[in-house]
Amino acid sequence: MRAGNARTVVYHEFQHYMQYAYDSGCYAFLEPNYLNGTAAGDAEFLEGYADLAKDAVDAAVDLTLFNDIVAVYNPAQSFYDKSYRDVFSKYFSEQLGTQWNTTDPHWHMDAVRRHYEECDARDTLYVLDTLVPALKSSMTEEKLFLDFFAANWAKDWASATTQPELSISMMTPGLLMARSPCIKMSIFPAVRRAGLARAPRMTGLPGISR
Ligand SMILES: [Zn+2]
């Protein structure tokens, strides 16, 4: 069990156990809106965070798991239609969490806990509009998606120290770009869903002024 996939399944399922513990309104939303894990439901968060949790317990798994997830990432699908193996959830936690060190597998997982707490407060998982600026005052939901868009292209040469918004940790350089020449398109349905009338200026991209 320790050497096989069973341990990551345990990590994944335990995260669902934790999700169900947020029962001051969040559970009442997330359970009926799962919709069998289909694109119409909320599996992008429930399964996305459960997969992220697989990456957040064991240092050895943390070194390799998202390489495999990126290898099967479908760039033609909106984040809001995803379930398992989404990369945005990892980016969200890395960018907006504040607790623990990069050497800890659970680095910045406090952002996920804050999402569950906001879900309890608003009785819905679709709270990125208020949650993102609450976690980082200079950030908005739309800008975070656009930074994710940029990071998918720039992460291979970005500096994690001076360009953290363009970095995604623990991934083999080249995998995402090699696999996903049009990954940028995958965020636009999500941005539309967020009610963005027009794209804001992109920041942090090499060669593009702020
Ligand atoms: Zn699951």
- pLDDT tens digit string along 84-126? 988 899 999 999 999 999 888 899 999 999 999 999 999 999 9
> From ligand 1's centre to the CA of 45, what distance in Å?
10
Name residues with Cβ closer than 5 Å to ligand 1, which is an ion: 47, 50
Q: Is the pLDDT of residue 140 over 80?
A: yes
* Of 15 and 204, the one with more pLDDT: 15
Residue 180 pLDDT: 38
Residue 102 and residue 106: Cα distance in Å, rounded?
8
Residue 108 pLDDT: 95
> From ligand 1's centre to the CA of 25, what distance in Å?
20
> From ligand 1's centre to the CA of 16, what distance in Å?
7
3-state helix, strand, coil in the chain (%, to 5): 55, 0, 45
- DSSP letter at 199 equals P
Residue 108 and residue 92: Cα distance in Å, rounded?
9
Average pLDDT value for residue range 143-171: 86
User: What pLDDT band is residue 207 in, cutting at 50, 70 and 90?
Assistant: very low
Amino acid identity for residue 144 in this structure: L
> From ligand 1's centre to the CA of 20, what distance in Å?
12
**By percentage, how much of the chain surpasses pLDDT 70?**
77
* Of 60 and 148, the one with more pLDDT: 148
> From ligand 1's centre to the CA of 73, what distance in Å?
17
Q: Is the alpha carbon torsion for 181, 187, 189, 192 positive or negative?
A: negative
> Can you give the pTM of this predicted structure?
0.79
Over residues 50-87, the pLDDT tens digits come to 999 988 888 877 777 777 776 677 767 899 999 998 88
> From ligand 1's centre to the CA of 6, what distance in Å?
13
Residue 75 and residue 70: Cα distance in Å, rounded?
10
User: What pLDDT band is residue 152 in, cutting at 50, 70 and 90?
Assistant: confident
> From ligand 1's centre to the CA of 148, what distance in Å?
24
Top mean pLDDT of 47-56, 119-128, 149-158, 193-202 is at: 119-128
Q: How long, in residues, is the chain? A: 210
Residue 131 and residue 20: Cα distance in Å, rounded?
20
CB neighbours of residue 17 within 10 Å: 9
